[in-house]
Structures are given as structure tokens and as C-alpha cells.
Chain A
Amino acid sequence: MLLSTAYARGRRAFTLIELLVVIAIAAILIAILVPAVQKVREAGSRLKCINNLKQLGLAIQLHHDAHKHIPESYAYSSQGGPGPFTGRGWILKSLPFIGELPLYEQFDPTLVGDMTAGGGLQTPSTLPLMKTQMAILHCPFDSSFSAFSKIQNQWSGIEVATTNYKGVIGVSNMGGGWPVTPWETKYNGGVKWDNHGNAQPNGMFFRNSYQVKICFSNITDGLSNTFAIGEDLPEHNVHGAAFYSNGDYASCHAPLNYMPTPPDPTNWPKIMSFRSRHPNGSHFCVADGSVRFVSQNIDRLTYMELCTRAGNEAAAIPQ
């Protein structure tokens, strides 16, 4: 009885206009909310990336506390150094300090022998470990991340984990790949400066750094004026094997976010540099442990000066 009275008094259905108004309001609400949600998700991804860099920076500090120097790398073959040539990189050396001691201990027995002779990191029992993909080495902005793991330099056909984070070798002009840089003009008499294959690089991480064992007191440009770790994309650079001393560093010789189109990932003299998918720049972990966003419009000389550990350049990170 009550029901039929209600029907009689009110209307039985929405009119077309009412329906359209409701749809319009819903559309406006979605239009407002969806970009907001995307923005929040993007901010979350950025925070994750910053956090990864922060953790790696902390690992460097903890390693320094424990060993009195920052994590070092071991080259894969003799290049004037005494060895061992295991190919162990600084990220592998940092594993115990990012809560991955068990993984490090699995690697540990195989960290002998020459890599190029089937020892070191290419010991058959170690190869499965090389596939360990770690979230802390992945920037969520890089969607192409894991697709390039079988074409890494010196690991062709072998599946290895890759990293979005690379140590800063300094300003080494890799194989002379870039025209004379402003740093070379100012500090090296206009002559190209390439030391990636020996123990002379002027940054914090390079494949022969076991010969130098850099400690914080060697970073005379100041811990807050020296980049330690930056970002890279495996899609653009096949030197990205995560635990390997020839895949865990990059140089500041090329412009920040250098992204040739189409990608040219095997052209190591040009592309062993820093880049990210963050709009208009890239993050760096500074030697003091802080993480800073650096604009890709940064003055090139300043950028290069910030990548050296003891260049006496007095460069400061732009605010």
C-alpha cells in the first residue's frame, strides 16, 4: 500500500536531462580526481627512487665505518693492477650493508679466480646469483628495466640482474667519446682526459678502485659537493650488470639525461653516463648521504666539477 502511494506521489524514472546532468557531474569529478591520483602515484614512485639512493648512500657510510674506506671494485682483467680480477663491483661489496648479508655470503666463496678465465663472478655456481633482481636497484620510473638483462657487456647471452643506480667515476671522457669538454678545457689544457681503465679516475667508483681504497678524508672537494651515485637506464646502456665492476659506474662526460634516439646502448664511449625518466633531470646521492634532484639544464662545467672528489673546483650543487 505504502509503496504504491510513493509511486503515485513521486516520479517513476529519471528524465533524460537528469541522467545527463548526473553523467556530467560524474565526468567532472573523474576529470578532477584521476590526474590527482596519478600525481600522487608519481610522487610515490619518485619517493621510492629517492629512498633507494638514500639506502645505497647509507650503505657506503656503513661500509666506511666497518672497513675505513668506501666499497671498492675489482677489475675483470689486468690493467696495470695486481688483482684479483674477479669482476666484483662496489654494489656487491655493499650488500651486507643493505640487509643482504645472506646473498653476499652466497657470492663469497666464488670471489676468487679471474673472471675472464671462468672464475670470479663467472664461476658457474655464481651465475644463478647474478640473476638476483633487487627492488633497491630499480627506479619505478624505468618501465623497461628488466628487459635488457641478456645483452649486458661481457655477459652476452647470460641473464644477469641490472641496476638503475651507478657509482660516479668522475669526468673520464670514456674512450674519448665526447668532444673536448669544458672541464678538459679548464683543467686539462683542452686535451681529452680518459682514465676509466686504470686507477686514476677522479670520482668515487671505478673498476680498479681496489688499488686506491678511497676514504672520506680523500674527498677533499667536500662530501656535500661531490656526487657519489647517480641514475642510469639499461635501455640506453648495456653496461648495467648490477654486481659487476664494469656495469656499476658511469661518467659525467656526457650531458645529464643524454638519450639518443633511437637508443645506442652499445656505443659505450658516448653513453656510459647518467640519465633517468624523471622529467627534466635526475637524482644523485651526494657523498654526505643526502639525495638531490639535479636539473638537466645544469651548467655543464658545474655538473662535471661536482663529479670529481678532489678537484679543488669549489663547485656547489645549484639550489
Chain B
Amino acid sequence: MRLRRTTVWACLLILLLGCGSSNWGTATGTASLDGEPLQKGTVSLEPVDGGAIAYATITANGSFRVMTGSKEGLQIGKYKVTVVDQTIPDMDSNEVVKLLTPAKYADSATSELEATIKPGRNTLEFHLKK
């Protein structure tokens, strides 16, 4: 009986250790402009030390879920964040997109929004001001 219990604990320990060494985290959150949730747009997370860019699509109530490519979540570490909602110009003209959110948040050099991703679940809040 004691042997069996030891075995069970050993298995649990191995499982826990297996999860411990993760460099991956998931992140969900909300984005707002002057207190109003954004209806659409994109959150881009650029790793400070280089690597893959992660992104999230903002849905109707301002909430979003971060992805890297086709996989949910992103690598742990520090990120510079941009939040952008913009128009879709006519492709036949030479127009470019027009921002619907303040320009400051559309460039990681000026946006001042940051995120630090830890293993496991992360919650992000980005409150934009005009």
C-alpha cells in the first residue's frame, strides 16, 4: 500500500515538473479609449529583445485574446505594445490607412504601453487617452 502511494506521488511530481519549465503564457484583456471599450482594432505586442510579434483582435466589448501566429498565447518576457483601430482605404487609390485611435499608440516608439508576460495566465489592460 505504501509503495502504491509513493508511486502516485512520484507521478504527480513528474507531471508538475513537466509544466514548470514553460516559456509560454496566455494573455487576455481589454482595451478602451477614454473609458469607452474599443469596438474593433488590433493589439500588437513586439518583444523588446527580438522574437516573434504577438497580436490580438479586439472584439465588440473591447476584449481580446493574444495569439502568436495560429497558436494561442505568446512567449514570456517584456513587450512593447501598440493599439490601433484604423480605416480600410480603397485599394485602387493610393490612400493609406487613417487612424481612428490616437497616433501615439500606433508606434511602439511612442506608445508607452508595455506588457510583461509570465508563464500561465496573464491579464492585460490598455486604457488609451485622447
A residues near B (Cβ < 8 Å) are: 77, 153, 175-180, 182, 185, 190, 192, 194, 197, 246, 255-261, 264, 266-270, 275, 277, 279-281, 296-301
Contacts and interface: CB of A to CB of B under 8 A. Distances in A.
A194 B95 CA distance: 11
B69 interface: yes
A268 B52 contact: no
B96 interface: yes
Nearest to A275: B70
Contact of B84 (A179, A256, A296, A299): A179
Contacts, number: 90
Contacts of B107: 179-180, 190
Contact of B86 (A153, A194, A260, A269): A269
Interface string B40-62: 00101010001111110100000
B94 interface: yes
9 contacts: A77-B92, A182-B50, A197-B94, A260-B42, A270-B42, A275-B70, A280-B70, A299-B50, A300-B51
A77 B94 CA distance: 12
Nearest to A184: B107
Q: Closest 5 CB pairs between A and B?
A: A296-B69, A257-B69, A176-B96, A179-B82, A260-B57
B51 A269 contact: no
Nearest to B67: A259
Contact of A300 (B53, B82, B92, B109): B53
B70 A296 contact: yes
A175 B108 contact: no
Contacts of A246: 91
Interface in B61-84: 65, 67-71, 75, 82, 84
Given A175-B96, A179-B107, A301 B88 contact: no
B52 A297 contact: yes
Contacts of A300: 46, 50-53
Given A179-B106, A180-B107, A297-B75, A194 B69 contact: no
Majority secondary structure of chain A interface residues (helix, strand, loop or mixed): loop
Given A266-B88, A269-B97, 16 more contacts: A153-B91, A176-B97, A178-B44, A179-B82, A180-B108, A190-B109, A246-B91, A255-B55, A256-B69, A259-B70, A269-B88, A277-B70, A279-B70, A280-B71, A296-B52, A297-B69
Interface string B17-57: 00000000000000000000000001010100011111101
Contacts of B95: 175
A202 B94 CA distance: 18
A267 B109 CA distance: 25
Contacts of B70: 257, 259, 275, 277, 279-280, 296
B64 to A, nearest CB: 10
Contacts of B55: 255, 258, 260
B120 interface: no
A1 B42 CA distance: 84
A179 B52 CA distance: 15
A297 B51 contact: yes
B69 A268 contact: no
Contacts of A279: 70
B49 to A, nearest CB: 10
Contact of A177 (B46, B50, B51, B97): B97
A72 B2 CA distance: 75
Contacts of B67: 259, 261
A194 B89 CA distance: 14
Contacts of A185: 109
A41 B108 CA distance: 43
Nearest to A173: B96
B89 A255 contact: no
Contacts of A270: 42
Contacts of B53: 255, 300
